[in-house]
Amino acid sequence: MAGWLFVLTLIAALVAVYRPFGDHMYRVVSGTRHSAVERGVYRLVGVDASAGQTWGVYARSVLAFSAVSILFLYAFLRVQDRLWLSLGLPAVGDHIAWNTAVSFVTNTNWQAYSGESTMGHLVQMAGLAVQNFVSAGVGIAVAVVLMRGFAARNAETLGNFLVDLTRITLRILLPLSVLFAVVFMVGGVVQNLSGGTDVTTLTGATQHITGGPVASQEAIKELGTNGGGFYNANSAHPFENPSAWTNWVQIFLILLIPFSLPRVFGRMVGQNRQGYAIAAVMAILALGSVALTVGFEIHGAGTVPQAVGAAMEGKETRFGVANSATFAAATTLTSTGAVNSFHDSYTALGGMMPMVNMMLGEVAPGGVGSGLYGMLILATITVFVAGLMVGRTPEYLGKKIQAREIKLASLYFLVTPLIVLGGTAAAFGTGNASTALNEGPHGLSEVLYAFTSAGNNNGSAFAGITVNTPWWDIALGLAMLLGRFLPLILVLALAGSLARRQPVPESDGTLPTHRPLFVGMVAGVTVVLVALTFLPALALGPLAEGLS
Q: Is 400 helix (H, G, I), strand (E, B) or coil?
A: strand
Between CA 403 and CA 408, with CA 405 as vertex, the angle to 5 degrees is 105
What is the 8-class DSSP label of residue 457?
A: T
Q: Are strands 399-400 and 206-209 parallel, antiparallel or unpaired?
A: unpaired
Q: Rounded to an integer, what distance in angstroms lies between the CA atom of residue 15 and that of residue 262? A: 12
How many other C-beta atoms can be found within 10 angstroms of the C-beta atom of residue 232?
A: 14
Buried residues in 454-475 as b, exposed as e (16+ CB within 10 A): bbbbbbbbbbbbebbeeebbeb
Residue 376: C-alpha distances to residues 155, 371, 467, 478, 517 (Å):
19, 9, 34, 26, 16
234: left (phi over 0), alpha (psi -120 to 50) or beta: left
Residues of the chain with pLDDT under 70: 300-311, 391
Question: What is the C-alpha to C-alpha distance for residues 52 and 62, in angstroms, rounded to an integer?
Answer: 14
**pTM score:** 0.94
SS3 content of the chain, % helix, strand, coil (to 5): 70, 5, 30
Domain-wise residue ranges, the chain: 2-547
pLDDT score for 167: 96
AA letter at 196: G
Taking Cα atoms as reference points, which of 323, 347, 42, 23 lies closest to residue 167? 42
What pLDDT is recorded for position 486? 96
The answer to whether 89 and 195 are in contact (CB under 8 A) is no
Q: Is the peptide bond before 365 cis (omega within 30 degrees of 0)?
A: yes
d(CA 87, CA 134): 26
φ, ψ dihedrals at 348, nearest 5°: -55, -50
Phi-psi region of 204 (alpha: psi -120 to 50; beta: other; left: phi over 0): left
Q: φ, ψ for residue 252 (rounded to 5)? A: -60, -45
SS (H, E, C) 93-151: CHHHHHHHHHHHHCCCCCCCCCHHHHCCHHHHHHHHHHHHHHHHHHHHHHHHHHHHHHH
CA torsion sign for 201, 207, 212, 214 is negative
Could you count the other beta carbons within 10 Å of the beta carbon of residue 411?
15
